[in-house]
């Protein structure tokens, strides 16, 4: 199955930007969505954004809409998350994940069956 590796996190000041990458090992097959989720200390895993691998249809959490942009490059087997106007509340460990082709709600983490290790994003004030 597809293996995912998240990268690009770091420490930035409020108002800054980061670009996260989610690289898939080998061809991306039998995949409906690749999405980003985040988890802050003491909190559950939260949906951030997701993209349909075939159509490029996107969905965003209300908390990031207008600030974050998800995209994919099929030739590079990679999904990106451009994060602008970062806030301290965005501080979390960010994971990318893949859902299979079975129909399911794109915002629900349990519909994703392959997960990367995550990359830390820390936003200071």
Q: Which pLDDT tens digit goes with each residue over 83-106?
A: 999 999 999 999 999 998 877 789
User: 72: which residues sit within 8 A by CB, 6+ positions away?
Assistant: 34, 51, 53, 56, 78, 79, 80
Q: Return the pLDDT at 104.
A: 77
Q: Which pLDDT tens digit goes with each residue over 51-87?
A: 999 999 999 999 999 999 999 999 999 999 999 999 9
CA distance 69 to 50: 10
Stretch 33-50: mean pLDDT: 96
């Amino acid at each position: 199955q597809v293996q995912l590796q998240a990268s690009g996190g770091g420490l930035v000041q409020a108002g800054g930007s980061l670009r996260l990458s989610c690289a898939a090992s080998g061809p991306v097959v039998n995949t409906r969505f690749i999405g980003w989720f985040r988890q802050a200390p003491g909190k559950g895993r939260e949906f951030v954004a997701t993209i349909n691998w075939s159509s490029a249809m996107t969905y965003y959490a209300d908390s990031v809409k207008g600030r974050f942009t998800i995209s994919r490059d099929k030739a590079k087997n990679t999904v990106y998350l451009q994060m602008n106007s970062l806030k301290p509340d965005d501080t979390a460990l960010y994971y990318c994940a893949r859902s299979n082709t079975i129909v399911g709600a794109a915002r629900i983490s349990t519909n994703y069956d392959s997960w990367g290790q995550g990359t830390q994003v820390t936003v200071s004030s």
